[in-house]
A = this chain, B = another copy of it.
Amino acid sequence: MLVEGRACRAIEWDATNGCVCWIDQRLLPFRFERRATKDPEDLARAIETMAVRGAPTIGATAAYGLALAWIVDPCRFADHWLPRFRGTRPTAVNLFHACDVMERAVAEGLRGRRLIELAEDYAEREVRANRRIGEFMAECLARGRRRILTHCNAGWLAAVDWGTATAGIYALHRQGERPHVWVDETRPRLQGARLTAWEMLQEGVSCTLLADGAAAWMMARGEVDAIVVGADRIARNGDVANKIGTYALSLAAREHGIPMYVAAPSSTFDMSLESGRAIPIEERGAEELLEAEGMDESGAFRRVRLAAEGVDACNPAFDVTPFQNISAIISEQGIFTPER
């Protein structure tokens, strides 16, 4: 999608220089910086430190990383690099899908340039899936619904291009419609405030930021027509693991009869899990709540402490929304309504 008017992806192969390029999302919205590497360890660290994040982008990054790993360090591909990438984040299943795809390809004899092509193909499939999701979702949202609330960033930064939750919004916008997006700021990492709002500004879509705790009240006030979120892992029964705060949204949506859509490519489904109870939930460090990072008046990045010294925090990064609270899951294969 657009950055300063030019098309861009969250992660891609630079054929001219033979390296993988990604956007360091930790610097957004203040600085737009692209990084490039031929070293798989840089990509593993990019996932781990959340320089790249979002389930489909993580998957594509791992695919590129394992292609590079085979090229620069083939002897340690199975013993070091596969477990290295699989251990970077625990919740998003796309990561494990991507690692499985690359492992199988190497086992089947794919080598070098062909592995890069496979990773490119993996990323391209995600983008095609997002476009299809966008078409299906625009259909759902076209039924008179235009004020759309979203949580975290399930935009193109999270999903290589187009985004999952945002694909329908971008599709409508490019058709000349005028959706309005309520963006949950999404504590503690503020992906809504920092990433989704920035994406909307870049693309010219009208949006307004909300405190996470205000979303239910906006629904009660009748100011929300639909909710669209992404997913990090979906169990066989339709339970959805997504950014912490999604479950609370689903309760308010149900209370007010507001449709809640989950947008996710089929790589997000984990058919090995019967229900959401089996999804491992990443717990992250307390400092994400105790400190905030932003830009000071001089334009410098600065980290400030928000709470008293000695305060502890509990920081589950995801929660599980039961399928009963979800109106439909939208993938590239269609609109799926969990059975109640």
Tell me which residues from 241 to 295 in chain A have a Cβ below 8 Å from any Cβ of chain B.
Answer: 243-248, 251-252, 255, 286, 289-295
Task: Tell me if A297 is interfacial: C-beta within 8 Å of chain B.
Answer: yes
Of the candidates A197, A296, A310, the one having the most CB atoms from chain B within 10 angstroms of its own CB is A197
- Residue in B218, B243, B306 whose beta carbon sits within 8 Å of that of A292 in the complex: B306
Chain A's interface size range is 35 or more
Distance to closest chain B CB from A330 (angstroms): 22
A197-B308, A214-B245, A302-B304 known; A185+B187 contact, CB < 8 A: yes
Task: Tell me if A315 is interfacial: C-beta within 8 Å of chain B.
Answer: yes
Distance to closest chain B CB from A198 (angstroms): 5
Residues of chain B with a CB closer than 8 A to A316's CB = 214, 217-218
Name 9 A/B residue pairs within 8 A (Cβ), A-sorted: A29-B307, A29-B308, A187-B211, A194-B307, A210-B314, A211-B212, A212-B212, A248-B251, A293-B304
Task: Tell me if A72 is interfacial: C-beta within 8 Å of chain B.
Answer: no
Residues of chain B with a CB closer than 8 A to A213's CB = 151, 184, 186-187, 212-213, 243-246, 248
Report yes or no: A306 in contact with B290, Cβ–Cβ below 8 A. no
CA distance A199 to B294 in the complex (A): 27
- List A residues at the B interface (Cβ < 8 Å): 28-30, 151, 182, 184-188, 190, 193-194, 197-198, 201, 207-218, 220, 243-248, 251-252, 255, 286, 289-297, 302-308, 310-316, 319-320
A193-B289, A211-B289, A251-B255 known; A303+B312 contact, CB < 8 A: no
Give the 3 A-B residue pairs with the shortest CB-CB distance, closest first.
Answer: A213-B245, A294-B304, A29-B308
Residues of chain B with a CB closer than 8 A to A215's CB = 248
- Residue in B220, B244, B251 whose beta carbon sits within 8 Å of that of A214 in the complex: B244
Report yes or no: B314 in contact with A216, Cβ–Cβ below 8 A. no
Residues of chain B with a CB closer than 8 A to A182's CB = 314
Of the candidates A28, A210, A252, A293, the one having the most CB atoms from chain B within 10 angstroms of its own CB is A210
Report yes or no: A207 in contact with B311, Cβ–Cβ below 8 A. yes
Of the candidates A184, A210, A214, A251, the one having the most CB atoms from chain B within 10 angstroms of its own CB is A214
**Other 18 A-B pairs with CB < 8 A, given A29-B307, A209-B312, A292-B304:** A151-B213, A187-B187, A198-B311, A207-B311, A208-B312, A209-B313, A212-B213, A213-B248, A214-B244, A220-B247, A248-B251, A291-B294, A294-B304, A294-B305, A295-B304, A295-B305, A296-B305, A304-B304
Report yes or no: B296 in contact with A209, Cβ–Cβ below 8 A. no
- Residue in B28, B207, B290 whose beta carbon sits within 8 Å of that of A209 in the complex: B290
CA distance A320 to B220 in the complex (A): 9
Report yes or no: A313 in contact with B245, Cβ–Cβ below 8 A. no
CA distance A213 to B310 in the complex (A): 22
Q: A248's closest neighbor in chain B, by CB? A: B216
Of the candidates A244, A252, A296, A310, the one having the most CB atoms from chain B within 10 angstroms of its own CB is A244
